[in-house]
Structure 1
Amino acid sequence: MSRNILLIGFMGVGKGALARELVRQAPALYALDTDDMIESLTNTRIKKIFATAGEPAFRALEQKTADWLAKNVQNAVISTGGGFYKVKNIRSIGTVVYLKADFQWILDRILNAPNAKKKLKKRPLFQDVDKARALYESRYEAYEEVADIVLDVTKKSTAELAKELLERLEISS
């Protein structure tokens, strides 16, 4: 296998958790997170990038990361930020998997997490729930348009989702 699995979806939907579970079930894969990569590249937290340089600068960093991934990475599960679906070369990185859930489910997941305050603080675009809902509504159709696979994450555990995705991609665990 030389293809990557690229997890997209709205912030808080569980892309990172699914990436870790996929790697647990298929040890030949390894996990990367585009937000972590950007923080390493800039030595700056995402929240600070948004606050000091603005969203356009952050989106440029996402594109730079996408370009690097497309050229240099194989056999990885890549969890992405909520807006990563906009990068020009998304399909050249790997199989694009949209983790689908309705907004209320995502909000409840974040608010009911043991570290809810930390999860909210780390998501600068989620600081105003009404604005986050409007952002969700402006994106959900675009996520489906760029996806190769759509997974409804609301009715299954992370382990079940990982098993289903590995089967659909014909990757042995």
Structure 2
Amino acid sequence: MKNIILIGFMGVGKGSVAREIVKQSDLVALDTDDIIESMENRSIKKIFAESGEEYFRALERKVALWLQKEVDGTLISTGGGFFKVPNLSKIGTVVYLSAPFETIHNRILAHPDAAKKLRKRPLFQDIEKARKLHEERAAHYKKVADITIDVSGKEISEIAKEILKKVK
């Protein structure tokens, strides 16, 4: 079985959906940001602050090559900019979790630990910049995706079921 790759804007729920898919299937999940943090022994926020975004994007490309060569039959949740790696389609079936910016922002703000969720996302520190980035990325996500799922107003379990149904 091919890998399933979840892409979408930061905060759209890729990690939550991945955990639910694992519950509903026999898949194992990996998170590209977690892999990068392990490789670097520092948080994404620190990597951005100390080494910059370009360095971080190079780490994403390195992880993408490893995933393509070494990982099969796995659910992969990704950081918001991972869709830019040149070999994305060679890693597996790409599923874009889509939602309007306000839906994503409100979802983060409604989280019990909203302050931590916002701090964890360096590109979300300026809401207007984040909104603009969301607008810029939306068409690109759609372009690289094999499947697009609108997650607005849906329960995580419903989204997971929909993904599993469409990729089988």
TM-superposed CA distance for 1:155, in Å, is 2.6
Q: Residue 19 of structure 2 corresponds to which residue in structure 1?
A: 20
Partners of 2:101 and 2:45 in 1: CA distance = 21
State the AA in 1 paired with 2:95.
V
TM-superposed CA distance for 1:44, in Å, is 1.1
Deviations along 1:59-91, one digit per CA (max 9) or x if unpaired, are 000000000000000111111000000000000
Partners of 1:99 and 1:164 in 2: CA distance = 11
State the AA in 1 paired with 2:19.
R
Aligned pairs, number = 168
Percent identity over the alignment is: 61
Q: Return 5+ residue gaps in structure 1 as ranges.
A: none
Q: Residue 138 of structure 1 corresponds to which residue in structure 2?
A: 136
Q: Name the TM-score, length of structure 1 as normaliser.
A: 0.96
TM-superposed CA distance for 1:169, in Å, is 1.4
RMSD of aligned residue pairs (Cα, Å)? 0.6
Partners of 2:90 and 2:23 in 1: CA distance = 25
Partners of 2:29 and 2:65 in 1: CA distance = 17
Deviations along 1:103-143, one digit per CA (max 9) or x if unpaired, are 00000000110110110010000001011011111100000
Please list every run of at least 4 consecutive aligned residues from structure 1 whose deviation after the TM superposition is greater than 3 angstroms: none
Match of 1:95, SS state, is strand
Q: Return 5+ residue gaps in structure 2 as ranges.
A: none
Partners of 2:47 and 2:122 in 1: CA distance = 10
The reply to whether residue 90 of structure 1 matches residue 88 of structure 2 is yes
Match of 1:7, SS state, is strand
